Amino acid sequence: MAAMFSLFLVLITLGSGLIWLLDHFYLAPKRQEKLAFADGQTEGELPEEAKEKLVAEPWLVETSKSIFPVIAFVTILRSFLWEPFQIPSGSMMPTLLVGDFILVNKHEYGLRDPVFRHKFWDNELPSRGDVVVFKYPEDPRVDYIKRVIGLPGDKVVYRNKELFIQPKCEAGVEKCPELQRVNTAKVNSGQFKQDGTPLLRLKEDLLGVNHDTLINPRRGEPLRYYYQQPGRTTGEWVVPENHYFVMGDNRDNSTDGRFWGFVPEENLVGKATAIWISFEFERGADSILPGWIPTGVRFNRVGGIQ
């Protein structure tokens, strides 16, 4: 859907721009020639109404000239600077909630054209702990949002709901990093629930990046569904070059890299940087309002994303 909307914006921008140029350099001069010819064939001066009719812009030209500056600005802003996204699921709770509207920095990881996504300008690379929007590797038409856990060359292990990371061994170093357990500390329990089960909220220290996660203490670890990397045991992955390993903060309610593998660098859309508005959609069973109508605004959630 996002890709189709980008294509639509580009086509509307190009179409309205070409019509404006055609009118400026060809159609408008032709209308002036018709006015001059009619004026020369008439004794005295043409009535103002006749002049206005001869030089009047066609509807398509008038509309194109009106929308081109606006649509061009929106296309540039959305394609290369910032793009709004809505959080549709709870896979990134407690960091992001359903109803959060976020801003994604499109130039953080370089710039790509909005249609074919060819990269034409390099910038930064994702860092561990970044919350990123990317094209779902198994269906690039769909945008996903997760947190970067493993960088290229890292070893990631997730067993018994504990996370371990061994950073990439850089060439030329005398001693490679060891496999490190990602430390966690309990924040609370019961603030969030899944199918009636209180979720355990943990503060996670992702090798220097602190953020909160959720764990369902009653749900088993679905090892049989994990992505099996050739030559590795279940629940263990080594991130290939130019790829990233991502997970949702709501660890037991997230379809992420544990189940389908790695995110190629070319699939990155941008870095989620801020929540610009957040709507509540909670309502009672007897509510007559459609589900898409918000029931409130969570102003306390507006701000940066940790």
Which residues are catalytic, by number?
91, 146
The beta-strand segments (E) located in the chain are 82-86, 100-105, 111-112, 119-121, 131-135, 143-150, 155-159, 162-166, 180-181, 183-194, 197-206, 209-215, 236-238, 243-247, 263-264, 268-280, 296-297, 303-304
The beta-strand segments (E) located in 13-161 are 82-86, 100-105, 111-112, 119-121, 131-135, 143-150, 155-159
Identify the three-state secondary structure at position 84. strand
Percent helix, strand and coil across the chain, each rounded to 5?
25, 30, 40
Q: For residue 37, how many other CB atoms are within 10 A of its CB?
A: 11
Cis omega (within 30 of 0) on the bond before 88?
no
Q: In this structure, are strands 143-150 and 209-215 parallel, antiparallel, or unpaired? A: unpaired
Q: Which residues on neighbouring strands pair with residue 25, listed in sequence order?
A: none
Whether the CA torsion 94, 98, 103, 106 is positive or negative: it is: positive
CA atoms within 13 A on the CB side of 296: 7
CA torsion 223-228-232-236 (nearest 10°) is: -50
